[in-house]
Amino acid sequence: MAGYEYLIMLGFVLVFVPSYVGMWKLFEKAGEPGWKSLIPIYGQIVLLKIVGRPWSWIFYLLIPVIGQIIAIGVVADLLKSFGKEKVHQIAAAVVFPFIYFPYMGFAKDVKYKGPATQIHGEKSTRQEWTEAIGFAVIAATLIRWLIMEAYTIPTPSMENSLLVGDFLFVSKFHYGTRTTTTPLQIPLTHQKIWFTNVPSYLEWVKLPQYRLPGISKVKREDVVVFNVPPKGLNDGIDYPVDLKTNYIKRCVAVAGDTLSIKDQQVYINGVASPVPPEIQFSYLILSDGPISERNLSALGLSVEDYQEHGRQGDGKFAYQMWLTKSRAEEIKTLPYIRAIEAQKRIHDEGTIPYSSYYDWYGGPDSTRLFRWSTDNFGPLWIPKEGATINIDKSTLALYGTTIKLYDHNKNVKIDGDKLFIDGQPVTSYTFKQNYYFMMGDNRHNSLDSRFWGFVPEDHIVGKAFFIWLSVDKGSGLANRIRWNRFFKLIK
């Protein structure tokens, strides 16, 4: 981990510890033992009691988006319970709790005045809720846009580095926050209004996109959240860039690199890249009979990690499993396993580049190019801002789509081996922004840059930072929470 990331983690410690110390003192001032503030869930229930809200609100706090709004409203209630109800005071507590909570906790003139819901009877319930929700939405929107945003892992493309059901925070300030292109949007939404198919934005006003200064650039091996470029992966809808569907992958090559994959090993500029410790590939497993769900679960496999292909002609049962090398070795030793074979991907229909002369399986024309697969790919140069390429049939096959759709050009036409911009033929082209090549750590079960191409710099959202919760929906209630993944740094 880079030195600045250690500093960031130290910063988080310096934020959380003073905040909890301050909360401990506020609990004591309200007549509750301070230690209760440190206990997850129970501490929040006691806090709701202090501010005069029903304990059942704890369930609202667990709901994504709604929970963020309610939490900020509870902070506002807490300050009102101690006589602090001005907007700048509430804003200070929300944005700088590590300063404001200790100040309130240790200040002798700050005293508990009773539940906020009782000492503000002069305000109607409607007025109180309107103020609280309005402030909470503004605060949550600013935090989500400028600093951190919570995401959930929905697919197994990054397993075992990231698991389905991991909840993680993504840092916006690492690479710099982007300004929005669609200001007419319902706060705290992405593409649609919650629980509907109604768009959450209007394109009546469209702004140019800018990126604020960040503390680092996208680097090889970073785990990155980005807006996936192709329209086909966005429900066929041409969303504005910052509203395209979010993907999470590992950056394996940055602008200016030349990438190759040979027998599953990634090479950058001719040098073998580090292999992610939890990298997975596909294996064919033959067993004496069906493997029970209990045995599969005991091996640490969830429903996303395998597919049953049923009984084969020789009576054996076949499974396709996506495994780390160590787990494959473990499975090989089981008495009911008859064979295990690492699968090689020689020909994969669908990998880039797409062109009329792209030959999947060889053929009589030996001059054809690009017989690539997920395991044997490239060499492929990654476009870099300011770099110039000659335009011919080969470069258009590799970069034509990027030039046409993502490099901020208008009136682009590709005709055979010719490129036209604004009706004029172009024999060389200079790229206007940087691009990146992203791959999932579950290398045989990931829809990534090998299939749809480069990620433009203006599609980068942020850096995946740490896991704050992990839920295994396929496990029983007692084992549903993966406690060992709490606050795990993402590497």
Which tens digit of pLDDT belongs to each residue from 193-234? 888 889 998 889 888 999 988 889 999 999 999 999 999 899
Please check whether residue 166 is in contact with residue 158, taking contact to mean a CB–CB distance below 8 angstroms: no
If one counts every other C-beta atom within 10 angstroms of the C-beta of residue 26, the result is 25
CA atoms within a 13 Å half-sphere pointing along the CA-CB vector of 10: 6
Q: Rounded to whole angstroms, how far apart are CA atoms 132 and 60?
A: 15
Residue 350's SS3 state is: coil
pLDDT > 70: percent of the chain: 86
**Ramachandran bin of 3, using left for φ above 0, alpha for ψ from -120 to 50, beta for the remaining angles:** alpha
- CA proximity to 419, closest of 392, 446, 449, 459: 392
List the single range of 126-140, 191-205, 358-372, 433-447 with lowest mean pLDDT.
358-372
Cα 491 to Cα 489: distance, rounded to the nearest angstrom? 6
**pLDDT tens digit string along 87-122?**
788 778 877 888 889 999 999 999 999 888 776 555
pLDDT digits (tens, 9 = 90+) for 252-283: 999 999 999 999 999 999 999 999 888 999 99
Q: Is 366 exposed, middle or buried (0-12, 13-18, 19+ CB in 10 A)?
A: exposed
**Secondary structure (3-state) at 434:** coil
Tally of CA atoms within 13 A in the half-sphere of 230 that contains its CB? 12
The model's pTM is 0.75
